[in-house]
């Protein structure tokens, strides 16, 4: 189960099909918050992009935290938020072939745990 076709369509729509890939979706020093920096000129395209990224999290669980962080700023996205979203897209470009495989003959049970760092958000 993967969404390679969907990811390629997203990259094509945004014009990033030929972009250089990234090994990480965000840098560790990226702390997003609502500030008074320049607003993104087209908030509706930012919202559309975030909605599409939320859809990708169905099979790309490694994107959940980063997309959730970016989704907090859908009301008033800034240029910083948009550039961080483009970094996530460059990461997606590098992991197009990765997906989930569930064998019908397997008895393995999938269990996952997450440790989120909520303390770094200055808004909450």
Walking along the chain (124 residues) 10 residues at a time, the average pLDDT comes out as 82 91 80 82 94 87 90 92 92 83 78 71 66
Q: Is residue 84 part of a domain?
A: yes
Q: Is residue 122 part of a domain?
A: no
Which of 93, 109, 91, 110 shows the shortest CA–CA distance to 18? 93
Q: Is residue 57 part of a domain?
A: yes
Q: Is residue 9 part of a domain?
A: yes
Is 80 in contact with 14 (CB distance < 8 Å)?
no
Look up the pTM and report it: 0.74
Give the total number of structural domains in the chain.
1
Tokens of 2: 């993967």
pLDDT of res. 37: 79
Which of 104, 18, 93, 108 shows the shortest CA–CA distance to 56? 93
Q: Is residue 91 part of a domain?
A: yes
Tokens of 50: 């975030």
pLDDT of res. 118: 63
Q: Where are the alpha helices (DSSP H) in 57-105?
A: 64-71, 79-94
Q: Is residue 56 part of a domain?
A: yes
Look up the domain containing 66 and give its range: 1-22+48-98
Print burial letters for 30-47: b (CB count within 10 Å at least 16), e (below 16): eebeeeeeeebeebeebe
pLDDT of res. 121: 67
């Amino acid at each position: 189960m993967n969404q390679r076709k969907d990811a390629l369509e997203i990259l094509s729509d945004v014009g990033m099909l030929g972009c250089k890939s990234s090994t990480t979706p965000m840098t560790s020093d990226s702390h997003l918050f609502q500030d008074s920096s320049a607003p993104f000129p087209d908030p509706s395209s930012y919202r559309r992009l975030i909605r599409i990224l939320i859809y990708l999290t169905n099979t790309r669980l490694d994107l959940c935290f980063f997309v959730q962080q970016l989704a907090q700023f859908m009301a008033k996205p800034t240029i910083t938020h948009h550039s961080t979203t483009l970094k996530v897209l460059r990461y997606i470009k590098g992991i197009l072939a990765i997906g989930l495989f569930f064998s019908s003959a397997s008895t393995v049970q999938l269990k996952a745990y997450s440790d989120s760092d909520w303390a770094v958000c200055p808004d909450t």
